[in-house]
Amino acid sequence: MNQHEDRQQGFPAQQQQPPGLTDQMRPRPDHGEESYRGSGKLTGRRALITGGDSGIGRAVAIAFAREGADVAIGCLPAEQEDAEQTASWVRRAGREAVILPGDLVDAETCTRLVEDTVSALGGLDIVVNNAGFHLTRDGAGTLEGLDPEVVDRVLRTNIWATLWVIRAALPHLERGSVIINTSSIQAYQPAGVLLDYAATKAAINSITVNLAEHLGPRGIRVNAVAPGPIWTPLQPATRGPEEIAEFGSGTPLGRAGQPAEVAPAFVFLASQSTASYVSGSIVGVTGGKGTL
Ligand code: NAD
Ligand code: MG
The SS3 call for residue 134 is: coil
- Distance, in Å, from the CA atom of 71 to the CA atom of 83, rounded to the nearest integer, reads 11
- Distance, in Å, from the CA atom of 170 to the CA atom of 174, rounded to the nearest integer, reads 8
10 band by pLDDT with thresholds 50, 70 and 90: confident
Residue 291 lies in a domain: no
Question: What totals of helices (H) and strands (E) does the chain contain, helices first?
Answer: 10, 7
4 band by pLDDT with thresholds 50, 70 and 90: confident
* Cβ of 129 less than 6 Å from ligand 1: no
Residue 79 lies in a domain: yes
* Cβ of 128 less than 6 Å from ligand 1: no
pLDDT of residue 15: 95
On the question of pLDDT at 114 being above 70, the answer is yes
Residue 68 lies in a domain: yes
pLDDT of residue 18: 97
63 band by pLDDT with thresholds 50, 70 and 90: very high
136-155 residue pLDDT tens: 999 999 999 999 999 999 99
pLDDT of residue 252: 97
Residue 12 lies in a domain: no
pLDDT of residue 2: 63
Closest atom of ligand 1 to CA, residue 256: 40
- Distance, in Å, from the CA atom of 5 to the CA atom of 83, rounded to the nearest integer, reads 28
- Ligand 2 centre distance from Cα of residue 239 (Å): 15
How many domains in the chain?
1
The 10 Å Cβ neighbour count of residue 17 is 10
Q: Which domain holds residue 59?
A: 40-285
Residue 183 lies in a domain: yes
Q: Which residues surround ligand 2, an ion (CB under 5 A)?
A: 53-54, 79
What residues act catalytically? 197
The SS3 call for residue 169 is: helix
Could you tell me the CATH number of the domain that includes residue 187? 3.40.50.720
Average pLDDT, the chain: 96
* Cβ of 234 less than 6 Å from ligand 1: yes
Residue 7 lies in a domain: no
pLDDT of residue 5: 66
Residue 6 lies in a domain: no
Residue 202 lies in a domain: yes
On the question of pLDDT at 6 being above 70, the answer is no
78-93 residue pLDDT tens: 999 999 999 999 999 9
| Contact between 31 and 58 (Cβ < 8 Å) | yes
- Distance, in Å, from the CA atom of 285 to the CA atom of 263, rounded to the nearest integer, reads 10
